[in-house]
Structure 1
Amino acid sequence: MSEGCETLVDADAIPEGLRSREQWVCWRVKERDGKDTKVPVIPGDGDFASATDAETWRSFGTAVQYAGTREADGVGFVFTEEDSFVGVDLDDCRDPDTGLPDEDAQDIVVTLESFTEVSPSGTGFHVILQGELPGDRSRKGSVEMYETARFFTMTGDRVEGTPATVKQRQDALEEVYEAYLAPETDTTTSSESTNASPGDDAGGSKTEVTESGGDVDLSDEELLERAQNASNGEKFERLWRGSTAGYESQSEADMALCCLLAFWTGGDRARMDELFRRSGLIREKWDEVHYADGSTYGEKTIERAISSTSEFYEPDSYTGMEASTVDSGSAEVTDSNSQAGRSDAHLAERNRLLSERIDELETKLEEKENRIKELEKNVEKFRTPNE
Structure 2
Amino acid sequence: MSTCTSLTPSIVDDEPVGLDTIQEGRFTVPDSLEDEACWIVYTRKGDDKIPSDPRSPVPSYVDGTDPDYCVTFGEALDTVAESRRRFGHDDGLGGVGLCLGATDVCAIDLDDVIDEDGELDELAADLVDDIDSFTEVSPGGRGLHILVRDEQGVDDDHLQKDVIECYDERMMTFTGRTLRRASREIVNCPGLVGAYQSLYNGERDTDGDESAETGSTSAPTERTSRGELGDVLEDIVDTACEYDGDFEVLWNRGSTAWDSVTWNHDRSRADMSLASKIHWWCQESDAFAEEEISRSEMERIFLESDLAQRDKCQDRTDYVSRTFDKVQR
Q: What TM-score bracket applies, with the shorter chain setting the length?
A: 0.5 to 0.7
For 1:79, the equivalent position in structure 2 comes to 100
Answer whether contact 2:217 2:295 (CA < 8 A) is retained. Answer: no
Are 1:21 and 2:36 matched, yes or no? yes
Determine if the alignment matches structure 1 residue 302 to structure 2 residue 272.
Answer: yes
Query: Which residue pairs with 1:344 in the alignment?
Result: none
Query: Contact 1:290/1:297 (CA < 8 Å) preserved in 2?
Result: no
Q: Pick the structure with greater CA Rg.
A: 1
Structure 1: 5+ residue runs without aligned partners? 186-200, 257-280, 313-347, 360-387
> 1:216–1:247: structure 2 CA closer, same or farther, 3 Å change rule?
closer
Aligned-residue CA RMSD in angstroms? 4.5
2:74 pairs with 61, 80, 103, which one? 61
Shift of 1:155: 0.9
Please, which of 161, 177, 183 is the counterpart of residue 181 of structure 2? 161
Matches within 5 A, 1:141-156: 141=162, 143-148=164-169, 150-156=170-176
Aligned residues: percent identity? 21
Aligned-partner residue type, residue 124 of structure 1: G
Supply the distance in 1 between the matched residues of 2:33 and 2:200 (Cα, whole angstroms). Answer: 26
2:153 corresponds to which residue? 133
> How many Å apart are 1:87 and its aligned residue?
1.6
In 2, the alpha carbon distance for the partners of 1:106 and 1:285 equals 44
The question of whether the paired residues in 2 share the 8 Å contact of 1:184 and 1:217 is answered with no
Which amino acid in structure 2 is aligned with residue 6 of structure 1?
P
Residue 103 of structure 1: CA displacement? 2.9
> Residue deviations 1:8-41, cap 9 Å, x none?
449851101111112212212213xxxx111112
The number of residue pairs the alignment matches comes to 257
Question: What are the within-5 Å matches in structure 2 for residues 237-316 of structure 1?
Answer: 284-285=255-256, 288-291=258-261, 294-306=264-276, 308-309=278-279
Q: Aligned ranges for residues 182-261 of structure 1 at < 5 Å?
A: 182-183=202-203, 207-208=210-211, 214-216=215-217, 218=219, 220=220, 223-224=221-222, 234-235=228-229
The one-character-per-residue Cα deviations of 1:273-302 (angstroms, maximum 9, x if unpaired) are xxxxxxxx998527x532367352452243
TM-score (norm 1): 0.53
Give, in whole Å, the separation in 1 of the partners of 2:184 and 2:275: 43
Greater RCO (CA < 8 Å, at least 6 residues apart): 2
TM-score, normalising length: structure 2: 0.61
Deviations 1:302-326 (A, max 9, x none): 33423551699xxxxxxxxxxxxxx
Q: CA deviation at 1:206?
A: 6.2
CA distance in 1 between counterparts of 2:105 and 2:261 reads 31
**Change over 3 Å in CA distance of 1:205–1:76 after alignment to 2:** same
Letter in 1 for 2:272: I
State the AA in 1 paired with 2:94.
Answer: D
SS at 1:140's partner residue? Answer: coil
Distance 2:281 2:195 in 1: 35
Structure 2 gaps, min length 5: 1-6, 13-24, 283-289, 302-329
The 1:109–1:215 alpha-carbon spacing in structure 2 relative to 1, beyond 3 Å, is farther
CA contact (8 A) 1:183 1:217 kept: no
